Amino acid sequence: MSERRRPVRPGYRRLSIFLPEDLYLEIHGIAGRSVSGWIEQVLRERLEAEKRKRLLGLLPEPLREKLVNAAGSEEAAVHLLTKVIEKGLAEIEEDEVEEAAQVAIGFAHRQERLAEARRG
């Protein structure tokens, strides 16, 4: 007996997995007819969590320990690290804007002095 499969949406690939029947029934009970969508959402959430853990793992051990101690747990440390990075990037952007403003002000002052020198 051959099953007719629906075509796969563009940008997607078919994946066949085998689950114990009790797990399958539980998932089907929660997800209803949208088992694939539910599994996709769970996998995306899990991948994001793994990416955050990997980010923490890239830090040197002493720094990682300080961060975990300051935050209270590894999961909280990842969130703290993200906030620290975002704050640092915002400060860098702010500094760049301030530096660009100073350059523009300096340029304006030079132009003003040149204009005064030409007039006088």
Query: Residue 106 pLDDT > 90, yes or no?
Result: no
- 74, 66 Cβ separation under 8 angstroms: no
Query: What residue segments make up the domains of the chain, in order of their start?
Result: 21-119
Q: How far apart are CA 8 and CA 15, in angstroms?
A: 10
Query: Residue 4 pLDDT > 80, yes or no?
Result: no
Q: How far apart are CA 102 and CA 105, in angstroms?
A: 5
Residue at 11: amino acid letter: G
Q: Which residue has the tokens 């075509």?
A: 7
- The 10s digit of each residue's pLDDT in 39-88 is 999 999 999 888 888 888 899 999 999 999 999 998 899 889 889 889 99
Q: What angle do CA 45, 18, 16 make, to 5 degrees?
A: 75
This prediction's pTM:
0.56
Binned at pLDDT 50, 70 and 90, residue 2 comes out as: low
